[in-house]
Structure 1
Amino acid sequence: MGIVRKDWAIHNSIALSWSEVEQPPSDIVDYEVKYYEKEQEQLSYSSTRTKSTSVVVTGLRPSTVYVFHVRARTSAGYTAYSPNFEFATAAEDPDIADQGQVLVVVTASVGGFSLLVILTLFLLITGRCQGYIKARMKSEDKRTRFHSGHVPFSGIKTYVDPDTYEDPTQAVEEFAKEIDPSYICIDRVIGAGEFGEVCSGRLHKPGRKDIAVAIKTLKGGYMEDQRREFLREASIIGQFNNSNIIRLEGVVTKSRPVMIVVEYMENGALDAFLRTREGQFTVLQLAGMLRGIAVGMTYLSDMGYVHRDLAARNILVDDNLVCKVSDFGMSRVLEDDSESAYTATGGKIPIRWTAPEAIAYGKFSSASDVWSYAIVMWEVMSYGERPYWEMSNQDVILSIEEGYRLPAPIGCPVTLHQLMLHCWQKEYSQRPSFNNVLSFLDKLIINPSSMITQVNDALSFPDSPEEMPDYPLFISIGDWLDSIKMSQYKSNFLAAGYTTLDSIATMSIEDIKRIGVCLIGHQRRIISSIQSLRLQLHHIHQSGFQAQNRSNRALPHYRSN
């Protein structure tokens, strides 16, 4: 390898680039960047991979010197590492709210609001491009510049299904470390899992500082197949080594109770965490959470692992707001809810988070995980609201098939909702990859002004009807209310004088309350749908269509993508 250059650096990230390898022995598959703090002297190091000759390394410490090495991976193996290159991160700016804060203090909130106002005024002057996402996604297919998952060094691995082992216990022995039970101190019960209790506690290993852990126990009286299924979880998570995947500390299998021990996540499940802190985070902080999840899912996708149950309830949050993908239910009581899952061939499926092809044909893939990721995006931007609200599973399935998509949550930036819609394309091959999603989020975070324009901003309409996203079309107030399962409020709207779709498009949250919609969940659903309705009506007016010209057309309640 030749010279590695620093393109730019901020308090927690450094952008690097280098030249192509001269006369490689064979075609280059990708590049590996290894790095560590200079003071650590390689006692602990991390690595990340990229297919391009540049990378943005994130998750670094402010005002710290890092040592970097780069090498190429070819079909014939690895090349030699480059020489050491030392680059330092910038000092942390005290005026910028750190994404790692758990709670937004008053001063940070004021500063964040001021920043939003300034950036909004900037957008009013410069305008916006509605075709931003599609153009960016196409460019990413040609050149992935910001592939930047912060992955602790583990070499090039591929996920191994534990079910392929003749004896499943071999997979546990291979991928999970056995822990002496005397090293584990259980403090309290924090929930219940499918196989037993979930506790918090501490792990003490001689010569090491105690660390907080979550302990999942297998209840007594189990059958051997239950024990194998319980430990199967450990043989899966034990294969992963990524800062945005829950970390397995080890297992206890040689004594009772049988236990799985993972790192403890102070803030628990993401959905419950957000519900108790509604409105306390900036859009940039929420985007930072989404980016962390995307880093974890990119890692899983690259390893060939399909999650199948990606949802905010299965994302855990630590005290630095770092989000980590999990599906072990370590911090919550599992819900016994007939509406939470739909029994189909192959077992229960979480309908509200699952892609259409997975529901209909059991076809799970990285693309179906991308669909689920967009539902998680919606959950995050709505502070943990239930996707599709009180709609039944069957209504959700039919609505999705007819082309309905969740409207943008209140205050959600246009760019993020457009990304959701892109991930919710019916044809799975048309959805972006996790690499694409991660690269796009990186660009939004580096350029926060692109996230300021909100869906309910009257000045956020596209420049031409051709750039209009595919929102539902409605004929009447009744059609519109039926589409969001709110037909019980039709008389309220009519009695208050809201007799046309145009008049409804002007309503505010206070207007919704005034006409007698008292339930908070119903208010949010209606106001979110009004945002989409505004865009639809703008599209109709821009296109020159009038209601009377459509009165004899049998339009469906939803328009397919």
Structure 2
Amino acid sequence: MACTRPPSAPRNAISNVNETSVFLEWIPPADTGGRKDVSYYIACKKCNSHAGVCDECGGHVRYLPRQIGLKNTSVMMVDLLAHTNYTFEIEAVNGVSDLSPGARQYVSVNVTTNQAAPSPVTNVKKGKIAKNSISLSWQEPDRPNGIILEYEIKYFEKDQETSYTIIKSKETTITAEGLKPASVYVFQIRARTAAGYGVFSRRFEFETIPVSVAASSDQSQIPIIAVSVTVGVILLAVVIGFLLSGSCCECGCGRASSLCAVAHPSLIWRCGYSKAKQDPEEEKMHFHNGHIKLPGVRTYIDPHTYEDPNQAVHEFAKEIEASCITIERVIGAGEFGEVCSGRLKLPGKRELPVAIKTLKVGYTEKQRRDFLGEASIMGQFDHPNIIHLEGVVTKSKPVMIVTEYMENGSLDTFLKKNDGQFTVIQLVGMLRGIAAGMKYLSDMGYVHRDLAARNILINSNLVCKVSDFGLSRVLEDDPEAAYTTRGGKIPIRWTAPEAIAFRKFTSASDVWSYGIVMWEVVSYGERPYWEMTNQDVIKAVEEGYRLPSPMDCPAALYQLMLDCWQKERNSRPKFDEIVSMLDKLIRNPSSLKTLVNASSRVSNLLAEHGSLGSGAYRSVGEWLEAIKMGRYTEIFMENGYSSMDAVAQVTLEDLRRLGVTLVGHQKKIMNSLQEMKVQLVNGMVPL
């Protein structure tokens, strides 16, 4: 028997980065060494790009399903650090690898992780506890994944979770006041970075002291309190005399400030009064610009409700000096002017590549308001799958909106340019990012209304980010409420039937649009419903027609699309459910191997609804020329496909047998057949 040997290196390794998780996939080695016991080992190294040094990743990284002894050709690494360069080495081994004196045979992949929310706060300690207050302190999360901007503390009386309070603090200490004596309160804390909020910590329970204990403690304080009261009375008398003398600032009403404050409470701030002392680093907000903010329910403020739109812009968007921006080239045209790429260099910060939207010369005040309205909306969002606003230029011309730069541009154009170039896992990773961004918007009570692949931007790491908030509106606090438009254009092919019919938009209508985006992604930027007119689309959808599965689409993904296209909006999945479902698919790649046999479904439908050739094309050659596939006319004729009725039975396997091996050509032919099928019976074929 011939001697066996170690296997060669795995081939064609690819990566998919999702925040601080990386999915790797590869092809088995060309040479297994004459053995069948091949498995894989993953080496993880954290690299410093400046020093050129790599260290072992350490024990905090988790490998799913495992790091050593992998039998399948994929693995996911989670709990990596944010904004960090990693090198992963994938080595194939067998029973004699340890005996070989030769060098290791492996394939390496270099990736950079994205922004990520911080890990949970795990260590919370109680401080001073009184009958009406509890003081807490905690430690920074083990993995902050960036600079902690603030903490959010949620607390409520035990067994009364529906009525809770939110406190925000930039420090790692807070005091919750106004509590009931002898009551147990539950506290949860989460941290926020530029990437958004992490998850809440586990529940910590603390009890206020009873009134009797507090009273006995207070007895010992009576002498001190008596002295304090006496001094307070004296000081109060002095202050009142000082105020009545008119020495304080005049509140603009011609009377001494103390009287002015009574007559004009709204002017009290101008006279130097302040509300009850509150730590400036601690924020306990319930109102914002006249809007009641329900803690934990939503934080989005509709800029259209501001009397002065400029106030909204300056509240939610940072003003940037025009001198900090360098415009390099024009990369497109927007509704209000040109879109450029350039550089942003703020004092004390590193230079960044940015995208710059400019407002064209000669704008009206309404155009300026609408243009900056998008910045007022975008500036309120902070999530790795939402386009990030750097700031605005409003104090000089041209007026500009400055955002992060997305190297690969819009998702639909990018997919068309790279037709067939990505694995299913990479496509699912893109879809997962979009769903995560939409979950964030939905959690804020916010409806996009124009979700489509053209409004998704993609960067060099294939991270997708939701953009274009020009059509967006806020939902009311009632989860059943919907925004009703006052007319205007609606993107019919992406819009849910109830939104078209009744002009009502909800997160459920965004879910319908997300299903269309899924179809666009899996079909590499194909136009939904092809060349059907908008009226035909409306009628077909209303009668039960749904887009057929794209070619080579996993059955699990197409089923999710159909779920998103349920006619009854309450039957559609929520975005958090979609994210969870896609995560499961990514963790179990084998679940994506079952494909929808779209071509056989086409043939069955054609058999039910008549001949494909009726009224469409007079010959096979004419049809192939029309879709620029005329080179295959002779092959089709030679193999017996001489009529359109015969072509109707063509499957993907038939195309491969005929020698149509290019994926793009296969898709074009199969999609043309599907398009003609849609046009049968005026484009209305119920599925």
Label 1:386 to 1:49 Cα distance change in 2 as closer, same or farther (>3 A): farther
Partner residue, 1:410: 551
Counterpart contact for 1:242–1:296, Cα < 8 Å: yes
- Match of 1:199, SS state, is strand
Partner residue, 1:75: 163
Determine which of 480, 488, 494 is the counterpart of 2:616.
488
State the Cα deviation string for residues 404-458 of structure 1 (Å, max 9, x = none).
1111111111100010011011111111111111110011111111111111399
User: 1:450-461, aligned counterparts within 5 Å?
Assistant: 450-456=591-597
Determine which of 281, 285, 308 is the counterpart of 2:449.
308
User: 1:337-376, aligned counterparts within 5 Å?
Assistant: 346-376=487-517
- Match of 2:354, SS state, is strand
Q: Flag the structure with higher strand content.
A: 2
Does 2:117 match 1:13?
no
Counterpart contact for 1:409–1:528, Cα < 8 Å: no
Shift of 1:211: 0.4
Specify the code of the residue in structure 1 equivalent to 2:575.
F
Partner residue, 2:464: 323
Specify the code of the residue in structure 1 equivalent to 2:147.
L
User: 1:28-427, aligned counterparts within 5 Å?
Assistant: 35=141, 37=143, 43-44=147-148, 75-77=163-165, 151-153=195-197, 156=296, 157-327=298-468, 346-427=487-568
Shift of 1:173: 1.2
Shift of 1:160: 1.3
State the Cα deviation string for residues 26-67 of structure 1 (Å, max 9, x = none).
xxxxxxx985646x7x634799999xxxxxxxxxxxxxxxxx
- Match of 2:412, SS state, is helix
State the Cα deviation string for residues 473-526 of structure 1 (Å, max 9, x = none).
7473753749xxx95147649973675899456863358999xxx998761324
Counterpart contact for 2:153–2:167, Cα < 8 Å: no
- Match of 2:538, SS state, is helix
Identity of aligned residues (%): 54
Partner residue, 2:242: none
Q: Distance between the aligned counterparts of 2:443 and 2:143, measured in 1?
A: 26
Q: Flag the structure with higher helix content.
A: 1
Counterpart contact for 1:47–1:152, Cα < 8 Å: no
Counterpart contact for 1:375–1:420, Cα < 8 Å: yes
Residue ranges of structure 1 left out of the alignment (5+ in a row): 1-5, 22-32, 51-71, 85-148, 330-343, 462-468, 533-554
Counterpart contact for 1:477–1:501, Cα < 8 Å: no
State the Cα deviation string for residues 269-303 of structure 1 (Å, max 9, x = none).
00101111111111000000000000000000000
Q: Distance between the aligned counterparts of 1:521 and 1:314, measured in 2?
A: 24
Comparing 7-16 with 390-399, greater Cα deviation is found at 7-16
Q: Distance between the aligned counterparts of 1:47 and 1:420, measured in 2?
A: 37
State the Cα deviation string for residues 344-380 of structure 1 (Å, max 9, x = none).
9611111111111111111111111101111111111
- Match of 2:504, SS state, is coil
Determine which of 466, 472, 476 is the counterpart of 2:607.
476
Partner residue, 2:670: 524
Aligned residues: 403
Q: Distance between the aligned counterparts of 1:233 and 1:368, measured in 2?
A: 21
Greater relative contact order: 1 or 2 (C-alpha under 8 angstroms, separation 6 or more)? 1
Q: Distance between the aligned counterparts of 1:527 and 1:419, measured in 2?
A: 24
Partner residue, 2:582: 441
Label 1:36 to 1:315 Cα distance change in 2 as closer, same or farther (>3 A): farther
Q: Distance between the aligned counterparts of 2:421 and 2:375, measured in 1?
A: 35
- Match of 2:610, SS state, is helix
- Match of 1:189, SS state, is strand
Shift of 1:244: 0.3
Label 1:203 to 1:495 Cα distance change in 2 as closer, same or farther (>3 A): closer
Counterpart contact for 2:355–2:402, Cα < 8 Å: yes
Counterpart contact for 1:513–1:523, Cα < 8 Å: no
Name the TM-score, length of structure 2 as normaliser: 0.52
Q: Distance between the aligned counterparts of 2:141 and 2:673, measured in 1?
A: 48
Shift of 1:12: 4.5
State the Cα deviation string for residues 165-215 of structure 1 (Å, max 9, x = none).
111111111101111111111111111111111111111011110001111
- Match of 2:343, SS state, is strand
Q: Distance between the aligned counterparts of 2:343 and 2:323, measured in 1?
A: 11
Q: Distance between the aligned counterparts of 2:334 and 2:683, measured in 1?
A: 41
Q: Higher Cα Rg: structure 1 or 2?
A: 2
Name the TM-score, length of structure 1 as normaliser: 0.62
Counterpart contact for 1:404–1:559, Cα < 8 Å: yes
Shift of 1:229: 0.7
Counterpart contact for 2:539–2:684, Cα < 8 Å: no
Shift of 1:77: 2.5
Counterpart contact for 1:479–1:557, Cα < 8 Å: no
Counterpart contact for 1:47–1:150, Cα < 8 Å: no
Q: Distance between the aligned counterparts of 2:658 and 2:307, measured in 1?
A: 61
Shift of 1:14: 4.0
- Match of 2:328, SS state, is strand
Specify the code of the residue in structure 2 equivalent to 1:76.
Y
Specify the code of the residue in structure 2 equivalent to 1:354.
T
Counterpart contact for 1:151–1:241, Cα < 8 Å: yes
Q: Distance between the aligned counterparts of 1:506 and 1:182, measured in 2?
A: 57
Partner residue, 2:209: none
- Match of 2:505, SS state, is coil
Shift of 1:79: 9.4
Counterpart contact for 1:356–1:401, Cα < 8 Å: yes
Q: Distance between the aligned counterparts of 2:360 and 2:141, measured in 1?
A: 43
Q: Distance between the aligned counterparts of 1:295 and 1:257, measured in 2?
A: 34
Specify the code of the residue in structure 2 equivalent to 1:43.
I
Label 1:475 to 1:198 Cα distance change in 2 as closer, same or farther (>3 A): closer
Label 1:299 to 1:328 Cα distance change in 2 as closer, same or farther (>3 A): closer
Specify the code of the residue in structure 2 equivalent to 1:388.
Y
Q: Distance between the aligned counterparts of 1:411 and 1:502, measured in 2?
A: 18
CA RMSD in angstroms, aligned pairs only: 4.3
Partner residue, 2:215: none
